[in-house]
Chain A
Amino acid sequence: GQQLNQSPQSMFIQEGEDVSMNCTSSSIFNTWLWYKQDPGEGPVLLIALYKAGELTSNGRLTAQFGITRKDSFLNISASIPSDVGIYFCAGQYSGAGSYQLTFGKGTKLSVIP
């Protein structure tokens, strides 16, 4: 099945550093969402974006919905050890009445104390 292009695949950073990851698609979406998944758990919603160009923050997290509606990025500022996990972008297109999500392959984040 289709998956979005998410990069980087993995990153190792020092505690306190900022992190940036992005997601691109060949298709347009009406909504972009960012999730975090810990081992053995389901994805947890971090941020949802509904309009092209929208910039939204949730604490130390900031995400933007690209103008072309085909991309999005997520920034994490001043990383802490509990930021460790896998981050997924997901696009949602509401055409034909179904609100299915298309996911990226994930960015695995490791934070070195």
Chain B
Amino acid sequence: ETGVTQSPTHLIKTRGQQVTLRCSSQSGHNTVSWYQQALGQGPQFIFQYYREEENGRGNFPPRFSGLQFPNYSSELNVNALELDDSALYLCASSLQRPPDEQFFGPGTRLTVL
């Protein structure tokens, strides 16, 4: 059984640029959630995708957007990057129904200069 994978591992961007992060869910899981983890903090929920549709969103602006593909993999896109977007971005997969635990990938470390 393959776990959750994310790419790239690290990324450096400058303010105003756009970035795309990728996630492959664990085998058999149909729900993907994205979290932002700032240094020294717990992860913060960005949004969740189920069957290719957004299924819940946290307190993040519209410049954070996502996609889920038919194979349940997912992308997180961030436009107009700001310095405060520097963080570890985590992807978690789960079974939507019945409710199940969320299993996390290793994360993508984004640095915005």
Residues of A within 8 A of B (CB): 1, 3-4, 6, 30-31, 33, 35, 40-45, 48, 88, 90, 92, 94, 96-106
Say yes or no: is B101 at the interface (Cβ < 8 Å to chain A): yes
Interface, chain B (partner A; CB < 8 A): 4, 31, 33, 35, 40-45, 48, 55-56, 58-59, 90, 92, 94, 96, 99, 101-107, 109
Closest chain A residue, CB of each to CB of B10: A40
A103→B42 contact, CB < 8 A: yes
Closest chain-B Cβ to A59's Cβ sits at a distance in Å of: 17
Q: Is the CB of A3 within 8 A of B42?
A: yes
Check A94/B45 contact, CB under 8 A, given A42-B105, A100-B33: no
Q: Tell me the complex Cα distance, A31–B101, Å.
A: 9
Pairwise interchain contact A96-B56, C-beta atoms closer than 8 A: yes
* A-B CB contact pairs (8 Å), 19 listed: A1-B45, A1-B58, A3-B41, A4-B42, A35-B104, A42-B4, A43-B104, A45-B103, A48-B101, A99-B56, A99-B102, A100-B33, A100-B48, A101-B33, A101-B35, A101-B92, A101-B102, A103-B43, A103-B44
In contact, B48 and A42 (Cβ under 8 angstroms): no
Smallest CB separation, B100 vs chain A (Å)? 8
Min CB distance B71 to A, Å, is: 21
CB-defined contacts of A90 to chain B, threshold 8 Å:
42
B105 touches A99 (CB 8 A): no
Which residue from chain A places its CB closest to the CB of B56 in the assembled complex? Answer: A98
- Are A30 and B99 closer than 8 Å at their CB atoms? yes
Separation of A112 and B41 alpha carbons in the complex (Å): 24
Q: What is the CB-to-nearest-CB distance from A99 to chain B, in angstroms, rounded to a whole number?
A: 6
Chain B proximity of A86: nearest CB distance (Å): 9
Q: Do A99 and B90 touch across chains, with their CB atoms under 8 A apart?
A: no
Establish whether residues A104 and B55, one from each chain, have CB atoms under 8 Å apart when the complex forms.
Answer: no
Residues of A within 8 A of B42 (CB): 3-4, 6, 88, 90, 103-106
